[in-house]
Amino acid sequence: MTRFFAGFARSVRWLEDGLLIGVFAAMLLLAGAQIVMRNFFDAGFAWIDPLLRVLVLWIAMLGAVTATREDRHISIDVLSRFAPPKFLPLLKRIIALATSLICGLLAWHTFRFVRDEYAWSDVEIAGLPVWIWQSILPLGFALMTWRFLFAVVFPARAEPGT
Amino acid sequence: MKILVGGFLLLLALIGMPLFAVIAGSAMWNFHAADIDLSVMGIEIYRIAEMPILLAIPLFTFAGYVLSESGAPGRLVRFTRAFLGWMPGGLAIVALAACAFFTAFTGASGVTIIALGALLYPALNQAGYPERFNLGLITTSGSLGILFAPSLPLILYGVVAQQMSEGASISIDDLFIAGILPGLLMVVMLSAYALWVNRANRMPLEGFDWRRAKAALRECAWEIPLPFVVLGGIYGGFFAVSEAAAITAIYVIVAEVFILGEISWRRLPGIVRQSMILVGGVLIILGVSLASTNFLIYSGVPQKLFELIRGAVESPLGFLLLLNVFLLVLGAILDIFSALVLVVPLILPIAAQYGIHPVHLGIIFLANMQLGYSTPPVGLNLFIASYRFDRPITEIYMATLPYLGILLLSVLVITYVPALSLGLL
């Protein structure tokens, strides 16, 4: 059972990293291609610009998921620097619990947003319906919810096997 | 109930809850209390995908991280040394200039202290500068340069201000120009201080030597064009800011990976990950704050705030003074990115009513926030320096104090002399 979980966690991690790096590489190449097209051939592709913009959203969400995994979100962090170390695990658990709750709410409500778009919108980006691109919102928040819930149980480590 | 939830979130923020969650929580609570369907959160966060300029943020940040992982910091130090080292107190000035240049590209996330401090701190000690002087110098220099293009905070201010669309439009290009003189003022004032402290002991590092200068120039041949590509390209009208970012990122990969071979292919994914953690952390805060800001504007908070301040402060000068005090306190508590997205939407319309130019406001804002990096008790630079140089945090506090004084002085000049920011526009 533990081995199954460790394997599962590893696959999720691998998927997150792969997606993040893949999306970044695509962004860099597309932005470069667009500049070449525009300046040397005087004709950019109309579909690249909206695609680049939505890829920034993907980078934002995937980067935030990775920041969650490594416990590197931007925070004020006054108390934990000056609080007695023995309270730290407890504080971290409380924070992780509250944050997972908020991420869970965000995942649910952004999911409802995407569902509405799926039903009503016929906008396309790079040939795909817009809801596919927007689905990174609930997906990203769901992943963050799972990471923070994990940190409630294991406050010291980001995840097993790391 | 409203106060209870607000207080609870504030408490959670103080014990270290990620700020994006604090902001999202308060936005959702407010929308809920106003009977607005919470799927609005999706609509608001999705606005990240509707701002073309944001593309510049991941690309510039990545380029900065690649530079810091390569041999560029060492070359940059040797380069500035060859050209500025002949001056008395030269190495201190070298340190300031190199840090400012580097921070402009890496966006003051602590990378400067780690990448450049490690080279400069021992060199300064070796050259016979007092140790405490060096410690303070490196710590404060870690955020010197955020006023120079293409720094991340400068771009982010432009993004947030553009969302407000209050009267005069504000372009990132203008901000890039406006930062030049105020940024130089800070570097010059700190250099003057460094010279004055070491006046008894004026140690020119080395004479100016053409051969060494030429060697340093050749060594930096791949990095020197960068500022020209970025600024020249934008102001020459060749490309937009986000295009300049893409060119910088591609250029840096070609130069450091293919031509100089200082970074192997295999390390690139790791650098992408590290830099995108910062980008993700900043953009997620931007995303959720779009929601909270929209609620604030919807409920008329800026206008109420303005009337409140108007009652107490009549003149623009009085307002600026109040602003300075407020921003200094803010900078000591909040990091620059959260402060930008949370506070700029509130103060921009107020400042506009006092007749303060939005570009000038941006420079004032960032200059104040730059101080916050080194302000006790929680300035980020202080912790990074304490960690990096293995010194107790209280020693770092004391060492940075005189530099804070100088920077405060420069912030006042920047605030009360608008021409410094607006003169070149």
Q: What is the mean pLDDT of residues B149-170?
A: 82
Residues A75, B378: C-beta atoms closer than 8 Å: no
Residues A63, B13: C-beta atoms closer than 8 Å: no
Q: Which of B264, B207, B280, B234 is nearest to B69 (CA)?
A: B264
By residue count, chain B amounts to: 425
> 3-state DSSP call for residue A151?
helix
Q: How far from B21 is each of A64, B283, B332, CA to CA, in Å?
A: 11, 13, 21
- Chain A residues close to B38, C-beta within 8 Å: 105, 109, 112
Model pLDDT, residue B406: 95
Q: How far apart are CA B310 and CA B308, in angstroms?
A: 5
Q: What is the mean pLDDT of residues B175-180?
A: 93
Using alpha carbons only, give the angle B156, B159, B161 rounded to the nearest 5 degrees.
110
In chain B, residues 235-254 whose CB comes closer than 8 Å to chain A: 238-239, 242-243, 245-247, 249-250
Mean pLDDT for chain B? Answer: 88
Alpha-helical segments (H) within B254-392: 268-298, 301-312, 316-333, 336-353, 358-372, 380-388
Q: Is the pLDDT of residue B56 over 70?
A: yes
Residues B377, A78: C-beta atoms closer than 8 Å: yes
Residues B281, A80: C-beta atoms closer than 8 Å: no
Q: Is the pLDDT of residue B176 over 80?
A: yes
Q: Is A94 exposed, middle or buried (0-12, 13-18, 19+ CB in 10 A)?
A: middle
Residues B28, A105: C-beta atoms closer than 8 Å: yes
Q: Counting one residue from A and one from B, how many pairs have CB atoms under 8 Å apart?
A: 198
Q: What is the mean pLDDT of residues B3-10?
A: 89
Count the Cβ atoms, other than its own, within 10 Å of residue B112. 31
Q: What is the mean pLDDT of residues B393-415?
A: 93
Q: Is the pLDDT of residue B377 over 80?
A: no
In chain A, residues 35-54 whose CB comes closer than 8 Å to chain B: 35, 39, 49, 52-54
Model pLDDT, residue B221: 87
Q: How far from A46 is each of A51, A129, B116, CA to CA, in Å?
A: 9, 16, 42
Model pLDDT, residue B248: 92
Q: What is the mean pLDDT of residues B190-198?
A: 89
Q: What is the mean pLDDT of residues B23-29?
A: 95
Model pLDDT, residue B205: 59
Q: Is the pLDDT of residue A45 over 70?
A: yes
Q: Which of B24, B7, B6 is nearest to B338 (CA)?
A: B24
Mean pLDDT for chain A? Answer: 89
Distance from CA of A149 to the nearest CA of B (A): 14
Sign of CA dihedral B48, B54, B57, B60: positive
Model pLDDT, residue B364: 96
A97 touches chain B (CB under 8 A): no
Q: pTM to 2 decimals?
A: 0.90
Model pLDDT, residue B108: 63
Q: How far apart are CA A117 and CA A136, in angstroms?
A: 13
Q: Is the pLDDT of residue B277 over 50?
A: yes
Q: Is the pLDDT of residue A79 over 80?
A: no
Q: What is the mean pLDDT of residues B113-134?
A: 85
Q: Which of B150, B325, B327, B165 is nearest to B228 (CA)?
A: B150
Q: Are B115 and B159 in contact (CB under 8 A)?
A: no
Q: What is the mean pLDDT of residues A121-128?
A: 90
What is the helix (H) or strand (E) element at residue A125, kind and residue range?
A: strand A124-125
DSSP annotation of A75: B
Tell which phi-psi region holds residue B7, choosing left (phi > 0), alpha (psi between -120 and 50) or beta: alpha
The secondary structure of B150-187 as a DSSP string is T-HHHHHHHHHHHHH--SS---HHHHHHHTHHHHHHHH
Model pLDDT, residue B21: 96
A79 closest CB neighbour out of B16, B20, B45: B16
Model pLDDT, residue B167: 53
Distance from CA of A72 to the nearest CA of B (A): 8
Q: Which residue has the higher pLDDT, B4 or B235?
A: B4
Model pLDDT, residue A98: 96
Q: How far apart are CA B189 and CA B183, in angstroms?
A: 10
Q: Is the pLDDT of residue A160 over 60?
A: no
Model pLDDT, residue B168: 58
Q: What is the mean pLDDT of residues A62-87?
A: 84
- Percent of residues, chain B, with pLDDT higher than 90: 47
Rank A81-95, B110-124, B229-243, B307-321 by mean pLDDT and report only the highest.
B307-321
Q: Is the pLDDT of residue B285 over 90?
A: yes
Q: How far apart are CA B104 and CA B301, in angstroms?
A: 34
Model pLDDT, residue A161: 37
Q: pLDDT class for A110, splitting at 50, 70, 90?
A: very high
B283 closest CB neighbour out of A32, A60, A98: A60
A57 touches chain B (CB under 8 A): yes
- Percent of residues, chain B, with pLDDT higher than 70: 97
Q: Which residue has the higher pLDDT, B321 or B89?
A: B321
**B59-70 per-position pLDDT tens digit:** 999 998 999 888
Tell which phi-psi region holds residue B240, choosing left (phi > 0), alpha (psi between -120 and 50) or beta: beta
Count the Cβ atoms, other than its own, within 10 Å of residue B274. 18
Model pLDDT, residue B202: 62
Q: pLDDT class for B182, splitting at 50, 70, 90?
A: very high
Residues A67, B280: C-beta atoms closer than 8 Å: yes
